[in-house]
Amino acid sequence: MGKITQMLGLLLTHPTEFRTLVHFYLYHEAKRDITSQQEHPTSGWDRASMRRCWELLDMTSRSFAAVIKELEGDLARTICMYYLVLRGLDTIEDDMTIPDGVKQPLLRSFHEKTVTPGWKFTENGPNEKDRQLLIEYDIVVEEINRLSPEYKKVILDICQKMQVGMADYAHKAIMTGTVYLDTVTEYDLYCHYVAGLVGEGLTRIWSASGKEAAWLCDQLELANSMGLLLQKTNIIRDFREDVEDRRFFWPREIWAKYGFKEMKDMYEKGDVEHATWVQSGMILDALRHATDSLDYLRLLKNQSVFVFCAIPVCMAMATLSLCFMNPEMFQRNIKIRKAEAAKLIMRSTNPREVALIFREYAREIHHKAKPQDPNFLRISVMCCKIEQWFEQHYPSFVVLSQTGPTFDPLDKRTAVMNLEKSRTQELEIKRAAANPLRNANAPRPAEMVPWELAMYVGGAFLLVGALSAAVIYVVLAVYG
Amino acid sequence: MSGQKKDVYLVIGGSGFVGRHIVEQLIAREDVVSVFDIVQRHHDVPFYSGDITDQSQVEDALRRSGTTCIIHTASPTAGAKDPSIYHKVNVEGTKAVIAAAVAAGVPKLVYTSSAGVVFDGNDVINLDERAPYPEKPFDAYNESKALGEALILEASGKGGLLTVALRPAGIFGPGDRQMMVGLYQAYQRGQTHFQVGDNNNLFDYTYVGNLARAHLIAADKLVPSEHDAADWQSDTVTLTDKEQALLNTMLPSVSATTGYRRVPTCEARPLGPYVTPPPNAEKLEAAFNAPPGVRNITHPVMRSRFDQFSDNALAVAPSSPLQVAGQAFFITNGEPVYFWDFMRLIWLQLDPPGSTRADRKTLVIPRMFGMVLGFLAECWAALIGKEAGFTRYRVGYSCATRYHNIEKARRVLGYEPETGLEEGVKKMVEWFKAENNLS
């Protein structure tokens, strides 16, 4: 009932959003149903333990569960397990009620625990939202051990690298008593541990599955950029919530120069202007990863993998645009509107469209930028890099129409295309004239046939002749 | 160039904005340099006064100075009263310089062209050097620059001369006598909160120091190419290993303004607050701290068929775009920005500390309305017999997209913009304030 009144309200206040959501509910269906009988061999839905893992996924992830389930073949189950392992690790890292002496060895051996049959962990604080996952972790262990060895190897390797990073940072906070990250370099490294590595692992799994190129897993910088864009966006959006929970991810290098002593000063001291410059500095830093992410998406071949990667980064760009120059972000948790999210999910189907989405948000951000902001020009340059990326890979002079691509006659690049076309023809004619035998090139099939045919016919004649001669010889030899 | 004899330079137009910066950079790297110009503004290098449209005067300067490399930057500034001067200097003058170079046996000639040679009034979007000269040039200035450039490129490989042309767009920096004047006028009139058009149009700018450096690099790299023209055009092109390497590396994005930061990966990262160092600690750190440079990748760069270095484009290129000799290169800061943002940056720098001028809300005038206003202003100006400040031309200019693709210069010349937009603007405004006694 609540949902219906909500939708009715939306119809009156935001009719276009209402339309988008109706479209979404009507036309956007999941590409795959992991519960159906024919999917059981790859989704594991027929096993109680795997069914529980799928439930745990729904419990621990709002945003990723849907896209994970739509992945093809055994990728869905693999990524589900990968997610649960890292969520389990994260739940230990996050829990401030676990003393460092317990947490350190626990974190540093988590990759071993993950394959130890029967291992589970019940000592999370009562407020830890995903504590149930660790209480039932023995089921996760069981299913991890069922994964094919090449996937399992990647998941455990990434888990080990991440756990070391998390333990190092947690230990440093305890030992030095400093709660803040000082530099952007440290911030990048922290994000690499908690998100960049996830990107590396995913990419290695794509390659191992054979659904993506074998060399994709070597694109480490691009894979990390994907992770960093998502992580940094969350860190920016969750500012207030994180600060209140005493989780401080914004590096001092970006905010201390405006005179803030503590992160909470940004909403307590009433200096909205400087807080806004800090916010734009953080968003500028996140936008650094935008074109790398587009590069990554352009390398993908499998549609389900593409959609899995594209939807979250599009949401991230929308969120960055929402946060930019928005003082409300310092007061409460803001979110993109449901209809906007639905639209993005429906649109994120190919790299060109995703690049267009990126460009739209880049322009939105740019239009909100203020010249007094010390980051003003760098924001502009960053947005223009997205514009340039789009033009480099999907040039706008190519107009996609019903009848196929046409070229915009006013664009200078059309002249380039026409010039190249006429040169191609010239070269063909020139080559044909210079080398009549090899000219063969373009009209090869038509002109080659008589030659080959003549040879075949000649060969056949020879063969028949030789055979006849042999027969005559034999006949003569026997009867002669 | 190591092991090679150093060149002796003659900068034609060495008293001008760009020419002077080239002279200064040549002096800084202890090269032998002379200047040929009509006016002398500096007295630190040998000066030859003369008219470039007179071949004998140029030839005489070349012989007396012992020049082995000419850098030809001379050109009248745009907006001259009598447009015939453009043809005279940019076409006739260039002809005379080429003839003088061949007669004096000078092996190298670097020409300062202009990105305007491909401009016909329409938008220029991420355009590369394959673009032909427009059938209808935009104006007399751009037409003369295109004719001059064509002469220069045509002359390469003939009479012992190698040539290269550089095409800058929107040059700015200390010594600028065009951009700052107009912008300062608008600033004084208090027009800085007006914006014509939606400001979604990207524009190219080039810091004069970067452009000067590009000239030096181009001069250094101006050597006979590995493919002669006949070889390149014969049948299928096979690239040399060196050329393959030029193409199959990933260029990092230009970062002069935004700054460069390497994204940490499991193979290249700082060590962070480790308890026990990882076994490959040194390797991790070294890889992370390595200079940006080109990234070697394990798969070929994926190019669309519209890309200038795609296989189909290379196959029909009239000459090797991977050589320096006989080629034109767009040279810009490689970081185009939305048109009005660059203006705002300059105006903000002109503001004395504590000024709240930038806080004023921007008044956006739609393009069509701007055109009407421009027309009216032109009529009014014609009526009272003054030059109009707000014209349809200016409206069109500020609403146009004009930026170029500098990948060829980055790959083939190894050109990288060093001074970013912010730093460049700061240097220009400081110079402008000092020059005009502003605080």
pLDDT digits (tens, 9 = 90+) for A87-139: 999 999 989 899 999 999 999 999 999 999 999 999 999 988 999 999 999 99
Separation between Cα atoms, residue A142 and residue A136, nearest integer Å: 11
Given the residues A247, A347, A378, A431, the one annotated as active site: A247
Q: What are the pLDDT digits (tens) for B280-333?
A: 999 999 999 988 765 555 566 688 889 999 988 988 888 889 999 999 999 999
In the CATH scheme, what is the homologous superfamily, with its name and number, of domain A179-184+192-394?
A: Farnesyl Diphosphate Synthase (1.10.600.10)
Q: Please judge whether B348 and A372 are an interchain contact, meaning their C-beta atoms are less than 8 angstroms apart.
A: yes
| Strands, E assignment, B197-290 | 202-203, 206-207, 249-250
Helix (H) or strand (E) holding B174: none
Instruction: Output the domain CATH number for residue B61.
Output: 3.40.50.720
3-state SS class at B336: coil
Using a 10 angstrom Cβ sphere, with 0-12 exposed, 13-18 middle and 19 or more buried, the burial of residue B206 is buried
In a domain, B92, yes or no: yes
pLDDT one-digit tens code per residue, A171-182: 998 888 878 999
Contact A393 B304 (CB under 8 A): yes
Q: Among the listed ranges A111-120, A161-170, A459-468, which one has the minimum average pLDDT value? A: A459-468
- Which of A325, A368, A388, A406 is the best mutation test for B, with the most CBs of B within 10 A? A388
Which residues of chain B are within 8 Å of residue A384 when distances are taken between CB atoms?
Answer: 202, 335-338
Cα B5 to Cα A36: distance, rounded to the nearest angstrom: 77
Active site residues per annotation of B: 145
Chain A residues with beta carbon closer than 8 angstroms to that of B405: 392
Q: Among the listed ranges A329-333, B2-6, B276-280, which one has the minimum average pLDDT value? A: B2-6
Q: Do B273 and A372 touch (CB under 8 A)?
A: no
Q: For domain A28-178, give the fold.
A: Farnesyl Diphosphate Synthase (1.10.600)
Phi-psi region of A282 (alpha: psi -120 to 50; beta: other; left: phi over 0): alpha
The β-bridge relationship of strands B202-203 and B337-338 is antiparallel
What's residue A449's pLDDT?
57
DSSP track, A38-63 = GGHHHH-TTSHHHHHHHHHHHHH-SS
CA of B346: which chain A residue's CA is closest? Answer: A371
H/E stretch holding B215 reads helix B208-221
With CB atoms and an 8 Å threshold, state whether B274 touches A168.
yes
Domain membership of residue B210 (yes or no) is: yes
- Please give, rounded to a whole number of angstroms, the shortest distance from the CA of B390 to a CA of chain A: 23
Contact B122 A412 (CB under 8 A): yes
Q: Provide DSSP, A310-321.
A: HHHHHHHHHHHH
Q: Which residue has the tokens 């009005």?
A: B340
Q: Which of B127, B202, B359 sits opposite A384 (nearest CB)?
A: B202
Q: Write the burial class of residue A234 (CB in 10 Å: 0-12 exposed, 13-18 middle, 19+ buried).
A: middle
pLDDT of residue A150: 96
Cα A425 to the center of its chain, rounded Å: 42
| Among the listed residues A41, A306, A78, A112, the one whose alpha carbon sits nearest the alpha carbon of residue A208 | A78
pLDDT over threshold 70, residue B418: yes
Marked catalytic residue, from A83, A308, A324, A358: A308
Is the pLDDT score of B58 beyond 60?
A: yes
Query: Which of B262, B266, B335 is nearest residue A381 as measured by Cβ atoms?
Result: B335
The per-residue pLDDT for B293 is 65
Is pLDDT of A439 > 50?
A: no
SS3 (DSSP) at A451: helix
Q: How confident is the model at residue A331 (pLDDT cuts 50, 70, 90)?
A: very high
CA B285, chain centre distance (Å): 36
Cα-based distances in Å from B179 to A337, B337, B391: 44, 16, 17
Answer whether residue A448 shows pLDDT above 60: no
Strand ranges (DSSP E) for B309-380?
327-331, 337-338, 363-365
d(CA A196, CA A29): 30
First to last CA, chain A: 108
How far apart are the C-alpha atoms of B274 and A103, rounded to whole Å?
16
Please, what is the Cα angle at A134 between A130 and A137, to 5 degrees? Answer: 135
Q: Is there a contact between A196 and B264 if contact means CB atoms under 8 Å apart?
A: yes
Q: How far apart are CA B136 and CA B181, in angstroms?
A: 29
* Binary contact (B132, A419; C-beta < 8 A): yes
**Contacting residues of B for A162, CB less than 8 Å apart:** none
Helix axes A338-347, A351-368, angle to 10 degrees: 140
**pLDDT score recorded for residue B362:** 84
- DSSP category for residue B161: B
Residues 6+ apart with CB under 8 A from B9: B26, B31, B32, B33, B34, B67, B68, B69, B70, B71, B219
- CB-CB under 8 Å, B131 with A415: yes
Contact list in A for residue B126 (CB cut-off 8 A) is: 388, 391-392, 395, 413
Are the beta carbons of A380 and B123 separated by less than 8 Å?
A: no
- Chain A residues in contact with B265 (beta carbon < 8 A): 192, 196, 200, 220-221, 223-224
Amino acid making up residue A339? A
Using the 8-state DSSP alphabet, how is residue B273 labeled?
S
Among partner residues A186, A410, A423, which is closest to B316 by beta-carbon distance? Answer: A423
Q: Give the pair of three-digit tokens for residue B258.
A: 């935004």
Chain A hits for B128, CB-CB cut-off 8 Å, are 416
Please determine, for residue A438, whether its predicted confidence score (pLDDT) is greater than 60.
no
Classify residue B259: in a domain, yes or no: no
Domain that holds residue B126: 8-225+331-340+395-435
Single out the residue of A217, A74, A54 nearest to residue A147, CA to CA: A74
Instruction: Please report the pLDDT score of residue A413 as a whole number.
Output: 94
The band of B230, judged by pLDDT with boundaries at 50, 70 and 90, is: low
Partners of residue A178 in chain B, C-beta under 8 Å: none
Sign of CA dihedral A300, A304, A307, A309: negative
Query: Is the CB of B127 less than 8 angstroms away from the CB of A413?
Result: yes
Q: What residues does B172 pair with on adjacent strands?
A: B207
How many Cα atoms occupy the beta-carbon half-sphere of B44 within 13 Å? 13
In chain A, domain spans: 28-178, 179-184+192-394
Distance of CA A109 to the CA centre of its chain: 29
CB contact under 8 A, B128 and A366: no
CA–CA dist A377, B121 (Å, integer): 27
CB contact at 8 A, B153 and B327:
yes
What distance in Å separates residue B93's CA from the closest CA in chain A?
Answer: 29
Report the residue of chain B nearest A292, measured CA to CA: B253
Helix and strand counts by DSSP (H, E) for chain B: 16, 17
Residue A412, token pair as written in the block: 């200078």
The beta-carbon neighbor of B261 closest among A223, A288, A378 is A288
Q: Is the pLDDT of residue A274 over 60?
A: yes
Instruction: State which residue of chain A sits closest to B364, comparing Cα positions.
Output: A367
- Residue B336 CA: distances (Å) to CA of A77, A362, B144, B277, B404: 45, 14, 26, 43, 8
User: For the ranges A430-434, A448-452, A471-475, B180-184, which has the lowest average pLDDT?
Assistant: A448-452
Domain count, chain B: 1
Q: Is A322 exposed, middle or buried (0-12, 13-18, 19+ CB in 10 A)?
A: buried
CA nearest to B305 within chain A: A393
Residue B43 maps to a domain: yes
Question: In this complex, do A424 and B315 lie within 8 Å of one another by their Cβ atoms?
Answer: yes
Pairwise CA distance, residues A226 & A315, whole Å: 12
Q: Does residue B3 lie within any of the structural domains?
A: no
Q: Highest mean pLDDT range out of A454-463, B209-218, B301-310, B356-365?
A: B209-218
Contact A320, A359 (CB under 8 A): no
**pLDDT score of B216:** 98
Residues of A in contact with B406 (CB under 8 A): none
Q: How many angstroms away from the CA of A462 is the closest CA of chain B?
A: 38
Find the helix or strand (DSSP H, E) in which B403 lies.
Answer: strand B402-404
Number of neighbours of residue A471 by Cβ within 10 angstroms: 10
Rounded CA separation A31/A43 (Å): 14
Q: What angle do CA A357, A359, A361 make, to 5 degrees?
A: 75
| Mean model confidence pLDDT for chain A | 91
Residues B335, A384: C-beta atoms closer than 8 Å: yes
Which residues of chain A neighbour B192 with C-beta distances below 8 Å?
A: none
Minimum mean pLDDT among A145-149, A399-403, B92-96: which range? A399-403
Evaluate the CA torsion angle A451, A452, A457, A459 in order and state its sign: positive
Backbone angles phi, psi at A120, to 5 degrees: -150, 170
Task: Please calculate the CA angle B258-B354-A260 and round it to the nearest 5 degrees.
Answer: 60
- Looking at this protein, which amino acid is placed at residue B82? D
Closest CB to A218 among B199, B233, B298: B298
Please give the structure tokens belonging to residue B47: 């000066």
- Give whole-number Cα distances, B12 to A433, B64, B106, B158, in Å: 46, 14, 14, 21
Cα–Cα–Cα angle for B63, B65, B66, nearest 5°? 65
Residue A289 with chain B: CB contacts under 8 Å = 263
Q: What angle do CA B10, B11, B16 make, to 5 degrees?
A: 160
Residue A221 parent element (H or E) = helix A220-237
Is residue A297 within 8 A of residue A310, CB to CB? The reply is: yes
| Cross-chain Cβ contact A388/B336 below 8 Å | yes
The span from the CA of B277 to the CA of B272, in Å, is 9
Helix (H) or strand (E) holding B101: helix B94-104
Residue A76 pLDDT class (50, 70, 90 cuts): very high
CA A108 – CA A226 distance, rounded (Å): 26
pLDDT score at B295: 58
Q: Band the pLDDT of B2: cuts 50, 70, 90.
A: very low
CA distance B111 to chain A (A): 23
Q: Judge whether B425 lies within some domain.
A: yes
* B240/B257 Cα distance (integer angstroms): 34
Distance from CA of A362 to the nearest CA of B (A): 10
Plot region of B159 (φ>0 → left; ψ -120 to 50 → alpha; else → beta)? left
Query: In degrees to the nearest 10, what's the CA dihedral of B132, B137, B138, B143?
Result: 100
Suggest the residue from B118, B130, B266, B305 to mutate for an interface test with chain A (most A CBs closer than 10 A).
B266
B267 in a domain, yes or no?
A: no
Where does residue A23 rank: exposed (0-12), middle (13-18), buried (19+ CB within 10 A)?
middle
Q: Which of A190, A367, A388 sits opposite B126 (nearest CB)?
A: A388
Tell me if A420 and B130 make a contact (CB, 8 A cut-off).
yes
Angle between helices A149-176 and A75-94 (to 10 degrees): 20
B162 belongs to a structural domain:
yes
Instruction: Report pLDDT for A301.
Output: 94
